[in-house]
Structure 1
Amino acid sequence: MKKTVLITGCSSGFGAAAARLFAAEGWNVVATMRCPDAGSDLQDLPDVLVTRLDVQDRDSIDRAVGAAIERFGRIDVVVNNAGYGLFGVFEGTTREKVADQFEVNVFGVMDVIRATLPHFRENRSGLYINVSSGAGVFGLPMISLYNASKFALEGFSESLSYELAALGIGVKIVEPGGVLETKFGERSGQEFSATTTPSDYDGFIAGAGEVFEGLRRSRGLATSDAVAKVIFEAATDGTDQLRYVATDDIRPLIDKRRGSSEAEYMAFMRERMTPKTR
């Protein structure tokens, strides 16, 4: 029997690439997104259902899950991919924007899981793959709120994996770094342009821009297709591995975070990540 995967955030980037890959590998695919018209290129693929799911709209989550089960009979894997990142200093970000960041990156994931868990429990099987980020492992300047949401997602996912293992349900985390052809940076830039930041931060922001430019120059050639392959590996390797690093650009920082003492790690990061203000 063909397996079925439900993926959130399929209008572009990792989600769209993952939907195409799973379909090419013979899976039934439920490609969900806020605006299904954005998935017109997926509509013509065999055994792909494109349907609306906005992680901030619980009714749309329930409808999408129901449509998936009605069309394909069951769901085997859920890929929680939908997300975005706020960019800017904390003081310049409104409480409403902070809440929105967590609504999408954390509470939206929880709501999708809550909507599908009864189905997984009934089947005594299923797998959640939550797309995190290198920002769920190490902190960087100017993305404190994105960091906070992804740190929360990582902790939630690890703890949930213990709860669900006894039910035959798995939880995995995929950690990508910078992938330039996604729309992630475009939305982050739009969000930053809408913030109002005290002028005292001007020097810091200019220095932080240089830090991120340095990170961009040092990146490898990671693509959404490469990240999709890691998501597919996590779905099919049959292991209980929890975390998968999806792009090589973040491996040095992750290795330093997980393989060094706290003092060594903080000295390393402060030297490289503290903006040089003028």
Structure 2
Amino acid sequence: MNKTVLITGTSSGLGRATAKLFHGKGWNVIATMRSPERESELTKLERSLVVRLDVQDHDSIEPAVAAGIARFGRIDALVNNAGYGAYGPLEATPSEKIRRQFDVNVLGLLATTQALLPHFRANRTGTIVNVASVGGRVAFPLGTLYHGTKFAIEGLSEALQYELAPIGVRVKIVEPGFMNTDFGGRSLDFSNDSALTEYQPLIKSVLDVLGPMSAHGSVPEAVAEVVYAAATDKSDRLRFEAGADALHLLATRRASDDASFFAGVKAQFGLA
């Protein structure tokens, strides 16, 4: 019998690439998104169910899970992919953006996971793949909110693996580096206030550095391969790094003490 995966945030980017990859591997795919009525590609695939799930609307989660189980009989894996990045000086960031960053990246992930746990526990099996980031292990300037949420995903996943292992449920973390997306456009929620002149040189430096890094990042399809590898891994391995830049940066971080690594980041962003 085909296995079934539920993936959040499949309207674009990594989520869409992951949905298409799992489908190509023979899985049933529950592709969730905020506006399924706008979807025209995934709805045409056999063994695919496109359903509304907005991680900020917790009332939408249980019906999406129930619809997936009703359609395919069971769910074998959950990929918590939905998320976005809020950057900018904390002083310039409205409180609603702070809440949204944590609502989407952390609280929404937890709510979706909670909704699947009774099903996984009853089946005594299941895999949860949480898409974190290289930014959950290292931090860059102006990423207070984004890095805060990705560090949170790392911690909650590491703790969760212990409590779920006895009931047969695995937890995995995928840590992508930069992906080839529109950095500074739709993929980034950047806050700024030009009246805060003291921050403007750093803002320019961050955009000048991170923009090209994003442009030369991994394509979503390559990262989706790592997500699939994590979802199908039967070992106790927790973390899966994705992308050449992630491998390099995390190796550098492991080899460096705090002072050395922080000095390198400061130099990179003109803060030395």
User: TM-score under structure 2 normalisation?
Assistant: 0.94
- Are residues 1:196 and 2:222 paired? no
Q: In the alignment, is the contact (CA less than 8 A) between 1:86 and 1:188 conserved in 2?
A: no
Q: In the alignment, is the contact (CA less than 8 A) between 2:30 and 2:49 conserved in 1?
A: yes
Work out the CA distance in 1 between the residues paired with 2:38 and 2:143.
Answer: 28
Provide Cα deviations, 1:221-255, integer angstroms capped at 9, x if missing partner: x1111011111111113222111111112222211
Provide Cα deviations, 1:61-105, integer angstroms capped at 9, x if missing partner: 011000001001111000000000002111110121111100000
Give the superposition deviation at 1:266.
2.2
Question: Which position in structure 1 is the counterpart of 2:113?
Answer: 113
Q: In the alignment, is the contact (CA less than 8 A) between 2:177 and 2:245 conserved in 1?
A: yes
Work out the CA distance in 1 between the residues paired with 2:179 and 2:213.
Answer: 12
Q: In the alignment, is the contact (CA less than 8 A) between 1:207 and 1:275 conserved in 2?
A: no
Out of 205, 208, 211, the position equivalent to 2:206 is 208
Bigger shift: residues 75-84 or 91-100: 91-100
SS state at 1:121 partner:
helix
Question: Which position in structure 1 is the counterpart of 2:29?
Answer: 29
Question: Which position in structure 2 is the counterpart of 1:187?
Answer: 186
The two structures, once aligned, show a CA RMSD in angstroms of 1.7
Bigger shift: residues 99-108 or 241-250: 241-250
Q: In the alignment, is the contact (CA less than 8 A) between 1:105 and 1:149 conserved in 2?
A: yes
- Are residues 1:97 and 2:97 paired? yes
Work out the CA distance in 1 between the residues paired with 2:25 and 2:32.
Answer: 18
Work out the CA distance in 2 between the residues paired with 1:30 and 1:121.
Answer: 19
Question: Which position in structure 1 is the counterpart of 2:236?
Answer: 240
Q: Aligned partner of 2:207: which letter?
A: G
Give the superposition deviation at 1:259.
2.8
Bigger shift: residues 135-144 or 27-36: 135-144
Which ranges of 4 or more aligned residues in structure 1 deviate by more than 4 Å? none
Out of 227, 232, 252, the position equivalent to 1:231 is 227
Give the superposition deviation at 1:188.
4.5
Work out the CA distance in 2 between the residues paired with 1:17 and 1:10.
Answer: 8
Give the superposition deviation at 1:275.
4.3
Question: Which position in structure 2 is the counterpart of 1:170?
Answer: 170
Q: Aligned partner of 1:67: which letter?
A: A
Q: Aligned partner of 1:206: which letter?
A: K
Alignment of 1:79-158 (within 5 A): 79-158=79-158
Provide Cα deviations, 1:131-174, integer angstroms capped at 9, x if missing partner: 01111110101211100010011101111011111111010000
Q: In the alignment, is the contact (CA less than 8 A) between 1:141 and 1:274 conserved in 2?
A: no
Structure 2: 5+ residue stretches without partners: none
Work out the CA distance in 2 between the residues paired with 1:264 and 1:177.
Answer: 21
| C-alpha distance 233-54 of structure 1, shift in aligned 2 (>3 A) | same
Work out the CA distance in 2 between the residues paired with 1:73 and 1:62.
Answer: 15
Question: Which position in structure 1 is the counterpart of 2:7?
Answer: 7
Work out the CA distance in 1 between the residues paired with 2:260 and 2:193.
Answer: 35
The number of residues matched between the two structures is: 271
Work out the CA distance in 2 between the residues paired with 1:195 and 1:268.
Answer: 25
Q: Aligned partner of 2:221: which letter?
A: D
Give the superposition deviation at 1:27.
0.5
Percent identity of the aligned residues?
48
Q: Aligned partner of 1:238: which letter?
A: K
Provide Cα deviations, 1:205-228, integer angstroms capped at 9, x if missing partner: 1222222245347x35x1111011
Question: Which position in structure 2 is the counterpart of 1:39?
Answer: 39
Work out the CA distance in 2 between the residues paired with 1:195 and 1:211.
Answer: 17
| C-alpha distance 73-137 of structure 1, shift in aligned 2 (>3 A) | same
